[in-house]
Amino acid sequence: MKFTLGIEEEYQVIDPETRELASHEQKIVEAAAETLGEQVKAEMHQAVVEVGTNICTDIHDAREQITGLRRDVDSIARSLGFRIGAAGTHPFSAWQKQLLTPHPRYNEIIHELQDTARSNLIFGLHVHVGIDDRNMALHIANSMRYFLPHVYALSTNSPFWEGRNTGFKAFRSKVFDKFPRTGIPDHFESVAEYDSYVNLLIKTRSIDNAKKIWWDLRVHPFYPTMEIRICDIPLTADETVAITAIIQALVAKLYKLRTQNLNFMSYKRIVLNENKWRASRYGLDGKLIDFGKEEEVDTRALIHEILDFVDDVADDLGSRDELQKVVQILENGTGADRQLKVYEETGSLEKVVDFIIEETMRGINK
């Protein structure tokens, strides 16, 4: 099993003078189409631009592609008088002022979901891991649900919302929770049970296709991948690659256990949601519940345990160096921690935006 990768990132389009979110009227997408084709896409809000890698053969390919996309989109944005920023929410721009992208798909979502959709001004990271066998993918997804809050804690990068320090390390999920069919999915016993659920929603006109199931983790309805959707977009490309590496390693380890006729425990959604809430509120500085021990454990300690858990697959994946960068996140703090530090030192949300813009391109040759 190759465990190929795909990464999607959603960037803020920012006016460098006002530091507000800005409508780029899809000019960035149009300019990017000449060299990057469909790797750069419009989103519902015109202040958002989404990028997606091609299929990555390994974590090194993933690094090369995602850094290249950040560099190219930043260059195009600059040529048009904008900047791009990688954070799960903008520190102070209000959703009510944002222009929406005219498109039949977006119009349909807005008609159905109303202000739930209009206010969904958030920016995420989606990681795809290639698994050809849907039965295997569903089995791994059932187990992977346990690790979602831990991965989420590593990615927390949205402490501000509409000019306020929310008190959360990741407020993005609180915004997205208003959507239907979000959050950590239930455990499914079989592909047949999952397909039955999807078909029921289609039959009752709740959805027209399974892409409107926006869970934190899903077996992709159209591609042979498992898609992890819980993360805030990290500030830096290094963090994106490190988080991608730990996701890939977890999938590979759970696959290895399954092929050895071993299983990782599967827990109920209502229990896992306790850890997701803690990760959103406290990031790396809190405690998550170790359900095996039935006690609280420091989040950083649990992530170190995960690194030990996946150690035996790291060399086969060629990801040991990238996994080591997870340790750097534990030591230096997440994007949320670093945003809050800038705000504490300056008292200025505009300075926080400047920091986001700077960090978005850190380590990338322009």
Tens digits of pLDDT across the chain (366 residues): 789 999 999 999 999 999 999 998 889 999 999 899 999 998 888 999 999 999 999 999 999 999 999 999 999 999 999 999 999 999 999 999 998 888 888 888 888 889 988 888 999 999 999 999 999 999 999 999 999 999 999 999 999 999 999 999 999 999 999 999 999 999 999 999 999 999 999 999 999 989 899 999 999 888 899 999 999 999 999 999 999 999 999 999 999 999 998 888 889 999 999 999 999 999 999 999 998 889 999 999 999 999 999 999 999 999 999 999 999 999 999 999 999 999 999 999 999 999 999 999 999 976
Question: Measured between alpha carbons, how far is 74 from 84 in angstroms, rounded to an integer?
Answer: 6
CATH numeric code, 5-360: 3.30.590.20
Global confidence as pTM: 0.96
Strand 160-161 to 124-130 pairing = unpaired
How many Cβ atoms from other residues are within 10 Å of residue 291's Cβ? 15
Question: Measured between alpha carbons, how far is 46 from 67 in angstroms, rounded to an integer?
Answer: 23
